[in-house]
Amino acid sequence: MTSATKTLVPTIATIIEAFDETPDVKTFRVKIDDEAAAAAFKQRPGQVAELSVFGAGESVISITSSPTQTEYLEFSIKRCGVVTDYIHTMGAGDKLGIRGPYGNGFPVESWKGKNLIIIGGGIGLAPVRSVLNYAIDNRDDFGHITLVYGARSPEDLVFKWEYERWGAVKDLDMNITVDCGDDKWSGKVGFVPTILKEVAPSPENAIALTCGPPIMIKFVLQDLAEMNFTPEQIVTTLEGKMQCCVGLCGRCNIGSLFICKDGPVFTLAQLNSLNGDF
């Protein structure tokens, strides 16, 4: 379960490496200091952690690395407030607090043998990348993999250093797009939903996972429905302001479910049956 017996008290971790992804997203490789706590920290793809900068506060961040990566935990963080601004000033050797893993994560065991369609926008690639790398590391457990990922501009694309490796994986169809290209960009140009329609993945024996800005998700969901994906086949992760990540502070609920505890992963079928403030 959790690494700390004291629910709201984090354990200490060290940043072993940090590098810029985009002008406002930075990736951190982190190792938990205490050996027992590190061993107890066993996440599923799609789970999150509460990272602490002591003196600044806590932020919920997706564990973007796959559980098959046991050397470190990876977090890709967008600079957008008190805690995330401070984290961006940190680098190798600096100490963070960490507690978790939290949330339900993706039900990857029940997806064995299925084709995966992974659709991401902007920093929204971070949570689904844990599934992508998990499926690559367990390649025979899954069918065909389709990736559709986009950002505003080439410089806003995250995980560029992974594309070559992903492109070489067998049965993996990679589609990277930008809203607006530049002189050097020779790839696809167009919004994620537009490219998704071009790629037109089949719903046959497939699961579609999507994470990104609300407006992208809105159109992606419409398009998937048009392609005859059922609400049970569509999976998304939700966001919301969080303070505790353990279902206590009250604020992150969608109806009687907490995004932090019962989510952040929901099927569209579940979301359709819930009344909530999104």
Partner 1 sequence: MVTKILSAGNLQAWLDSLVAAYQVYAPVEGEGASSFKKIAKGQMPAMDIRTDTPPKGLIFKQVEKILSFEVNPDGITVIPGDENGTKKIVFGIRPCDSRSFTLTDKPFFDPNLPENQYMGHRNASALVTTACTSACRTCFCTSIGGAPDEKTGDVWMMDIDGKYLVESLTDKGEELIKANEGLFSDASADDEAAAKRIGEEVANSMPKINIADAKALDALFNDDAFWQKLTDKCLSCGACTFVCPTCYCFDVRDEGNTRKGERYRGWDSCMFYQYNRAAGGHNPREFHWKRMRQRMLHKFSYFPEKYGDIDCVGCGRCIRSCPVSYDLRDFLEGSLAVTGAAPVGFEKELSDVDTKDRSCEIKPADETVKTGGGL
Ligand X SMILES: Cc1cc2nc3c(=O)[nH]c(=O)nc-3n(C[C@H](O)[C@H](O)[C@H](O)COP(=O)(O)OP(=O)(O)OC[C@H]3O[C@@H](n4cnc5c(N)ncnc54)[C@H](O)[C@@H]3O)c2cc1C
Rule CB under 6 A: is residue 250 a binding residue for ligand FES? yes
12 binds, among ligand FES, ligand X, partner 1, none (CB under 5 to 8 A by kind): partner 1
Shortest distance in whole angstroms from residue 213 CB to ligand X:
12
Among 38, 117, 260, 265, binds ligand FES (CB under 6 A): 260
Q: For residues 62 and 177, which CB has a smaller minimum distance to ligand X in the complex?
A: 62
Contact between 18 and 26 (Cβ < 8 Å): yes
Q: Which of 1, 76, 74 is nearest to 37 (CA)?
A: 1
State how far Cα 133 lies from the chain centre.
Answer: 11
Contacts of 224 (CB under 8 A, 6+ apart): 196, 203, 208, 210, 233, 234
Which residue stretch of 13-21, 38-46, 149-157, 244-252 sits at the interface with ligand FES (rule: CB under 6 A)? 244-252
* DSSP string for residues in 195-219: HHHHH----TTEEEEEES-HHHHHH
Q: Tokens 């401070």 belong to which residue?
A: 86
CA distance 167 to 47: 25
- In the chain, the N- to C-terminal Cα span, in Å, equals 28
Rule CB under 6 A: is residue 276 a binding residue for ligand FES? no
Rule CB under 6 A: is residue 258 a binding residue for ligand FES? yes
Rule CB under 6 A: is residue 143 a binding residue for ligand FES? no
Helices (H) and strands (E) in the chain, counts: 7, 15
CA distance 249 to 226: 39
> What is the number of alpha carbons within 13 Å of residue 97 lying toward its C-beta?
17
110 binds, among partner 1, ligand FES, ligand X, none (CB under 5 to 8 A by kind): none
CA distance 123 to 213: 9
The type of residue at 73 is L
61 binds, among partner 1, ligand X, ligand FES, none (CB under 5 to 8 A by kind): ligand X
Which residue stretch of 8-16, 22-30, 40-48, 157-165 sits at the interface with partner 1 (rule: CB under 8 A)? 8-16
Rule CB under 8 A: is residue 270 a binding residue for partner 1? no
Which residue stretch of 93-101, 115-123, 174-182, 249-257 sits at the interface with ligand FES (rule: CB under 6 A)? 249-257
Contact between 181 and 154 (Cβ < 8 Å): yes
Site string for partner 1, 161-200 (x = CB under 8 A): ----------------------------------------
CB atoms within 10 A of CB 33: 12
Site string for ligand FES, 191-230 (x = CB under 6 A): ----------------------------------------
Residues that bind ligand FES (CB under 6 A): 242-245, 247-252, 258, 260
Residues that bind partner 1 (CB under 8 A): 1-2, 5-10, 12, 33, 52-58, 80-81, 84, 86, 95, 97, 214, 239-241, 243-244, 246-251, 253, 255-256, 275-278
